[in-house]
Amino acid sequence: EAGVTQSPTHLIKTRGQQATLRCSPISGHTSVYWYQQALGLGLQFLLWYDEGEERNRGNFPPRFSGRQFPNYSSELNVNALELEDSALYLCASSLDAGEQFFGPGTRLTVL
Amino acid sequence: QQQVKQSPQSLIVQKGGISIINCAYENTAFDYFPWYQQFPGKGPALLIAIRPDVSEKKEGRFTISFNKSAKQFSLHIMDSQPGDSATYFCAASAGGSQGNLIFGKGTKLSVKP
């Protein structure tokens, strides 16, 4: 069974630009979670989508947004990029609100 | 901010020894406590998880001990191996409408041959 996949693997942007990150959950999983892993800050919860709806949101500004598509894949958009947005962005999926399985992440670098 | 506090930040253990990582939480609504293992350049991988209705769960060399009254839980890695060298994260979730995980800061484990 294929795991969670994310694309692209690496993304380089400049300040002020927009970034779009994509995630495909494990087949049959309906929930998708986004986390930011920045150096020294650990993993911080960004967004949770389930059945196409946003279920919860972490303590991040509105320029972090996303959506979940009918096939349960998800997209994370970061507008007006700032240098401190440089991080590994991890997507996880689950069948219920418990066990979450992570993808390999997208490394975003903002120059 | 609901927190999960993890210690130590780093740990060096000899091959064959026991590695112990501790976590403490504040929110009594948390009802799910997983541990994740992360190797450099990879996403975290679920290692073992426990719910508060049991005090201990063992899977192979990995054991979670859970103390509900103290609001603490720990990971024990028995017979630690160099291949166990990784960063370990504890986490907690309240489930339901709060299904997102709150992570500890991580423990970098090095197992010396």
Query: What average pLDDT score do residues A95-99 get?
Result: 73
Please report the pLDDT score of residue A1 as a whole number.
65
3-state secondary structure of A83: helix
d(CA A91, CA A25) in angstroms, rounded, equals 8
Please report the pLDDT score of residue B1 as a whole number.
52
Indicate whether A37 pLDDT > 70: yes
Q: Which helix (H) or strand (E) holds A56?
A: strand A53-57
Most A CBs within 10 Å, among B51, B98, B100, B103, to test the A interface: B100
Pick the residue from chain B with its C-alpha nearest to A57. B100
d(CA A25, CA A109) in angstroms, rounded, equals 24
C-beta atoms of A44 and B103 within 8 A: yes
C-beta atoms of B100 and A58 within 8 A: yes
- A25 to chain B: which residues are within 8 Å by CB? none
- B106 to chain A: which residues are within 8 Å by CB? 42
Query: What average pLDDT score do residues A31-35 get?
Result: 95
C-beta atoms of B99 and A94 within 8 A: yes
Q: Which residue has the higher pLDDT, A1 or A74?
A: A74
Indicate whether A107 pLDDT > 80: yes
- A104 to chain B: which residues are within 8 Å by CB? 41-43
CATH 1.10.10.10 given to domain B4-112 = no
Measured between alpha carbons, how far is residue A88 from residues A5, B57, B77 in Å?
14, 31, 27
Please report the pLDDT score of residue A80 as a whole number.
98
Cis amide linkage into residue A8, ω under 30° from 0 = yes
Please report the pLDDT score of residue B97 as a whole number.
46
Please report the pLDDT score of residue B55 as a whole number.
94
Give chain A's mean pLDDT.
Answer: 94
Please report the pLDDT score of residue B110 as a whole number.
98
For chain B, residues with pLDDT lower than 50 are 97
Domains of chain A: 5-96 (2.60.40.10)
Measured between CB atoms, which of B1, B43, B49 is closest to A99? B49
DSSP-derived secondary structure for B7-25: E-SEEEEETTS-EEEEEEE
What token pair was written down for B105? Answer: 């800061």
- A79 DSSP assignment: -
Q: How far is B14 from chain A (nearest CA, A)?
A: 26
